[in-house]
Structure 1
């Protein structure tokens, strides 16, 4: 249990990242992302998958009263589409769409979701939710009213090409902040600013994005624990925020709330940050590191806790095209498609196949070839090859390896129980199963997290790819009054001033007199009228989210109040 206690303590401080500049240059075979104890991937069809921890709805899937706090194998994330880039932080997730908009999932800590609201989560498990300056206290830090419907669109941003989700911990509270880069090289920042990590010259939290006019022409950004790093198009690296452990690479311990150039570093092509350290890849294939690096290092301030206050070259490795930082380790991809690793190995995150506790120089990861992209999180690693196949290794605390089973679970009373130590010390291939290859055997439907499908006299069913549900039960649950005309086989639903009319067997409905085409006409089944669930939700200005796992389809409808 000592290993579990250590993992829980450290997981508050570190989140994985990927080399943003390198990843952005990849072609359409797929993308790979990791952070904290969560992972995600874009497949070759552009579909977004996720696995691992869903605590605080990191995967944009509602926890449904604690039922879906983790996913031990990949599930399709259908709450958002047309995604081009993902950043998984310690406490929230950012998603960039192909249209340049940014969306966010997770708790809105200090305004990290960028929609003008915020919530503060304290480490004594009390949360203070704040909206428009009004505070209310709750003893439940996962209370529904402290979270927004998923995903939240970040306000006032357009033409964004990538984003970075930062995290950390203050004296008694969690920290979350966000950074984004537009196509023309402008940087935007919002969320917690306690250590100056937003770079706007203040230490004031921002509930909406602010533009950093002092650092133009930025190519890529990375975020760690209360600090930010930016790579400019000229190959220079800049940093701002917390500097207690040398993570800004400028010497000393003074925090900085405006961008400053990292000393002695140029010709850089990629950056990655995690915890309180940074790795940078140069055009000549060398890798440089600074901050609280994860292993012993020559010339470090403290041999056992290597602190480098300025960049140093990583020995024993050349020809690197991508370097990514995990919580306590670094993954390196060379130009020949092989993978190397360096740092701690308490949970097998180095992928060596043996239980070596740490290595002071990079070593090769056996069994991997033709790799195109890497990602790393808290004590776990992932790799994608040229064909889009994914391998994972390391800790599987929350199912972040995607192998179908997590190795620790919560039991009654909130205690942790070790099921088995199924951390993997060598890479294992996982599968992104094609969703809906078989129709689900069960369809679960909830309105505002209240499950109502158990009360259906006629179960929901799928017809021509559309999910059809008992009309009256859902309409009434959403506050509408329903009338049925048996002669005309017509359904009329009224809510406030809105009126919706559907007819059995007719693909045309009306909303306030305006015709709307349906993907599937309403049908009669065992004396019950079934209508398309998505039309019900959207016609009443509600949000409809769904995902499928283990032959069960889950549909969640959220009313607009």
Structure 2
């Protein structure tokens, strides 16, 4: 639901965008999936399991190819040879490799075009990797499916699930990130929960190596962002500090060692970390828009013109004002505040989309955007849940929207309430009725509908 209103913002601003402006770019293993600002869906790179979604084509795509003709896509995520995408009507679609039933369509059959998963119309976000998939609905409920040999599904069993099953009864889940065999999830109270395999410490539960149900890490209620790498974990706290744990043979933890850690460990002393993405390497952005990278660098995916692993965060100065990042298998993408996209790393299967299959050792401008900058798209990090609600509802925002003004209007357009978003998570109460919430920061505005039963 949150990305439906990203499209409304584009209409609100009445800004024309050109063909090289991407709303979302998601890197998988050897391929990429992305949504343009016009709502169309595109893929490029490796196609061996049908993950490009363009039918029975046997060759890779070194440049973006459109998936179907629909222009109502609002969310996409690329995983381990799979893609999940959500349309503006809240329906969930999947394609690519279907090992262990991780597509969720009730089969183990690979799909080379998008297939709808069930009939529900309230999907919000999805994360998937080599074995399983986890998703959140707009009512804050958590769902999981796929391989479950080591409890990755999180339903308390070790039985593979070929269709989505609900995990627990909580309805305050706000974000989820799936690693190779472990999952991190965050609740609206800023607690983080883990399950799956922790043999390298990636669960962050000290000596615990396996969990088949979500289990809280510590007692902290100050976690802001979470990210599961291949076999490690990264998180940012509300105070802007950076924390890592898990596998560290290639410096993934950024603590200047190659020693695994089985509990969250702070990286340095900086308090201005803002965004993180992880695979076997990490990309991060600070509040000043600077780009940082560390970890495994076997394919130039750190963008520093070397093949040397980095044991501590290293600043890449060739790109500034960074707004979005995505870390894939041996390659990376970053987008600046103007919407232009830079790629670097291995390009053997065309996953950088540059059309030349040549490795990029440093950030190369792949797609230049001269239209709407990404600053106008930051509202995709805004959530209201549950919706509909019985009175209490939560507002969850990215750090970029802290300080935004919220104005609540009645169905007749009368102002009901006005307040400033001062934290990542805010709880509010409204009487029964239908309302419109206008979120405003700078020149950007967006309106969301909220129903109180």
Q: Which residue of 1 aligns with 2:234?
A: 279
Using the alignment, how far apart are the partners of 2:253 and 2:93 within structure 1? 42
Q: Which residue of 1 aligns with 2:54?
A: 61
* 2:293 pairs with 1:357: no
Whether the 8 Å contact between 2:51 and 2:112 is mirrored in structure 1 is no
Q: Secondary structure at the match of 1:181?
A: strand
How many aligned positions are there?
356
Q: CA deviation at 1:253?
A: 4.4
Q: Give deviations 1:24-56, integer Å, cap 9, x for gaps.
A: 999757122112111122222222222211220
Structure 1's 149 and 376: CA in aligned 2 closer, same or farther, altered over 3 A?
Answer: closer
Q: CA deviation at 1:216?
A: 3.2
Q: CA deviation at 1:332?
A: 0.5
Q: Give deviations 1:375-431, integer Å, cap 9, x for gaps.
A: 01011110112222110001112111112122xxxxxxxxxxxxxxx3212100113
> Please, which of 106, 116, 125 is the counterpart of residue 153 of structure 1?
116
Q: Secondary structure at the match of 2:99?
A: coil
Using the alignment, how far apart are the partners of 2:98 and 2:252 within structure 1? 37
Using structure 1 for the length normalisation, give the TM-score. 0.59
Using the alignment, how far apart are the partners of 1:357 and 1:231 within structure 2? 33
> Please, which of 53, 56, 72 is the counterpart of residue 82 of structure 1?
72
Q: Secondary structure at the match of 1:151?
A: strand
Using the alignment, how far apart are the partners of 2:62 and 2:135 within structure 1? 30
Using the alignment, how far apart are the partners of 2:249 and 2:342 within structure 1? 23
Using the alignment, how far apart are the partners of 2:237 and 2:281 within structure 1? 19
Q: CA deviation at 1:285?
A: 1.5
Q: Which residue of 1 aligns with 2:272?
A: 319
Structure 1's 63 and 287: CA in aligned 2 closer, same or farther, altered over 3 A?
Answer: farther
Q: Give deviations 1:344-386, integer Å, cap 9, x for gaps.
A: 222211112x315122211111211122110010111101122
Q: Which residue of 2 aligns with 1:238?
A: 193
Structure 1's 264 and 35: CA in aligned 2 closer, same or farther, altered over 3 A?
Answer: farther
Greater alpha carbon shift after TM alignment, 210-219 vs 388-397:
210-219
* 2:331 pairs with 1:338: no
Q: Give deviations 1:193-244, integer Å, cap 9, x for gaps.
A: 1111111110111111111125431110010112211011111110111111
Structure 1's 254 and 63: CA in aligned 2 closer, same or farther, altered over 3 A?
Answer: same
Q: CA deviation at 1:95?
A: 0.8
> Please, which of 360, 378, 382 is the counterpart of residue 424 of structure 1?
360
> Please, which of 374, 381, 384 is the counterpart of residue 335 of structure 2?
384
Q: Which residue of 1 aligns with 2:98?
A: 108
Specify every segment of 5 or more residues in structure 1 that has no aligned partner in the other structure, as ranges: 1-20, 119-145, 168-175, 407-421, 435-561
Using the alignment, how far apart are the partners of 1:298 and 1:241 within structure 2? 19
Q: Which residue of 2 aligns with 1:166?
A: 129
Write out aligned runs for 1:152-301 (5 A). Answer: 152-167=115-130, 176-263=131-218, 265-293=220-248, 295-296=250-251
Q: CA deviation at 1:75?
A: 2.0
Q: Which has the larger radius of gyration?
A: 1
Q: Secondary structure at the match of 1:56?
A: coil
Q: Which residue of 2 aligns with 1:50?
A: 43
* 2:22 pairs with 1:71: no
Whether the 8 Å contact between 1:43 and 1:388 is mirrored in structure 2 is no
Greater alpha carbon shift after TM alignment, 223-232 vs 288-297:
288-297
Whether the 8 Å contact between 2:75 and 2:125 is mirrored in structure 1 is yes
Whether the 8 Å contact between 1:295 and 1:358 is mirrored in structure 2 is yes
Using the alignment, how far apart are the partners of 2:308 and 2:257 within structure 1? 16
Using the alignment, how far apart are the partners of 1:234 and 1:357 within structure 2? 39
Structure 1's 355 and 285: CA in aligned 2 closer, same or farther, altered over 3 A?
Answer: same
Using structure 2 for the length normalisation, give the TM-score. 0.73
Using the alignment, how far apart are the partners of 1:58 and 1:50 within structure 2? 8
Using the alignment, how far apart are the partners of 1:197 and 1:296 within structure 2? 25
Whether the 8 Å contact between 1:226 and 1:242 is mirrored in structure 2 is yes
Structure 1's 41 and 298: CA in aligned 2 closer, same or farther, altered over 3 A?
Answer: closer
Q: Give deviations 1:428-485, integer Å, cap 9, x for gaps.
A: 0113899xxxxxxxxxxxxxxxxxxxxxxxxxxxxxxxxxxxxxxxxxxxxxxxxxxx
Q: CA deviation at 1:156?
A: 4.5
Whether the 8 Å contact between 2:56 and 2:112 is mirrored in structure 1 is no
Q: CA deviation at 1:82?
A: 1.5
Q: Secondary structure at the match of 1:41?
A: strand
Pairwise CA RMSD: 2.7
Structure 1's 393 and 149: CA in aligned 2 closer, same or farther, altered over 3 A?
Answer: closer
Whether the 8 Å contact between 2:202 and 2:233 is mirrored in structure 1 is yes
Q: Give deviations 1:279-329, integer Å, cap 9, x for gaps.
A: 1122221111111136348998x954x311111112264412110002x21
Q: Give deviations 1:226-271, integer Å, cap 9, x for gaps.
A: 2211011111110111111111111124311000011364412211
Structure 1's 228 and 367: CA in aligned 2 closer, same or farther, altered over 3 A?
Answer: same
Structure 1's 248 and 198: CA in aligned 2 closer, same or farther, altered over 3 A?
Answer: same
Structure 1's 290 and 214: CA in aligned 2 closer, same or farther, altered over 3 A?
Answer: farther
Q: Which residue of 2 aligns with 1:498?
A: none
